[in-house]
Structure 1
Amino acid sequence: MSRLSIPRYAMALAHVASLRSEDPYRQVGAAALDFDNRVIATAYNGLAPGFEAPPGFWDDRESRQKFMLHAEINLCSLFRRGEVKLVASTTMPCTACMQTLCAYGVKEIYYRDAYHASDAPEIAALYGIRLEQVSDLPVMESGGMAGE
């Protein structure tokens, strides 16, 4: 049995966090680790805390998207600038989330699924942030992740 690398460990945590998302179309999770690789926070995309969606809210993906809080934004609300070295997200950060992660001083960002409508690679290159896809995660038969 081989030991999970830190990026794969963080991605496994992000995956588990994504399972809490109430969004039926896209469940995104994120995890933040400090400079000693300790878990600082996990988060997922969804509505503001305590808000209950009215009936029919989830039916129209287009109209509800502007109300969704991205996993990375929720994650950043749980730590202070300079406290986190690494963030793993199940989806590549969108442009706005990438900008926010830069503002928080994150040095490494790992993602599982590519998001082609994002300027994240260009932003990461300019700021010297490691942005890397991690897609070789162990998978259980049910489609979830398994330990190694």
Structure 2
Amino acid sequence: MSRLSIPQYAMALAHVASLRSEDPYRKVGAAALDFDNRVIGTAYNGLAPGYVAPPDFWDDREARQKFMLHAEVNLCSLFRRGEAKLVATTTMPCTACMQTLCAYGIKEIYFLEIYHVSDAPEIAELYGVKLQQVTDFPRIGIPDEI
């Protein structure tokens, strides 16, 4: 096997992070690398740290959706503006997360799954951010075909 490219490496890290998500409907992971391609952090979508949800919390996706912290927001809490060169996330950032990533100065964003309810492509174009789908990377726990 040849050496992974940096986008593949970041996507593999984001995928592994997604495995920690407690959301049974959508598991999203994210990873940030600095300008030397070192890992700054990984994160996943879920509830605020320390909150223990009641057992029936997960039954109604629509009701709980507003309480879920997105992987990208959790990731940005791990570094300061200008520290990260790129972010990889298992789902294209939603509009609000794309705005947040732009505010943090991220210039490269890689994603696996397309999120059709997002203005991320338009926002990326306006701010000159590279937004690219990456599907070829090593994965654990899911089939290679998406």
Which bin holds the TM-score, normalised by the shorter protein?
over 0.9
Give the whole-Å Cα distance in 2 for the aligned partners of 1:104 and 1:138. Answer: 28
Map residues 117-136 of structure 1 onto 2, 5 A cutoff. Answer: 117-136=117-136
User: Is the partner of 2:54 in helix, strand or coil?
Assistant: coil
| Residue of structure 1 equivalent to 2:68 | 68
Equivalent-residue separation in structure 2 for 1:44 and 1:139 (angstroms): 16
**Alpha-carbon distance change, 49 to 139 in structure 1, aligned in 2, over 3 angstroms:** closer
- 1:112, 1:56 → 2: CA distance? 30
Distance, in Å, in 2 between the alignment partners of 1:17 and 1:139 is 11
- Give percent identity, aligned residues only: 81
TM-score (norm 2): 0.95
Q: Matches of residues 1-148 of structure 1 in structure 2 within 5 Å? A: 1-139=1-139, 143=142
Letter in 2 for 1:101: L
Cα distance in 2 between the residues matched to 1:64 and 1:27: 14
Q: Within 2, Cα distance between the matches of 1:36 and 1:20?
A: 26
In 1, the alpha carbon distance for the partners of 2:52 and 2:24 equals 15
Alignment check: 8 A CA contact 2:110 2:134 kept: yes
State the one-letter code of the partner of 1:35: F
Distance 1:13 1:53 in 2: 27
Count matched residues: 144
Instruction: Write the distance in 2 (CA, Å) between the matches of 1:41 and 1:138.
Output: 19
Using the alignment, how far apart are the partners of 1:28 and 1:53 within structure 2? 19
Structure 2 alignment gaps of length 5 or more: none
Residue 54 of structure 1, CA deviation = 1.1
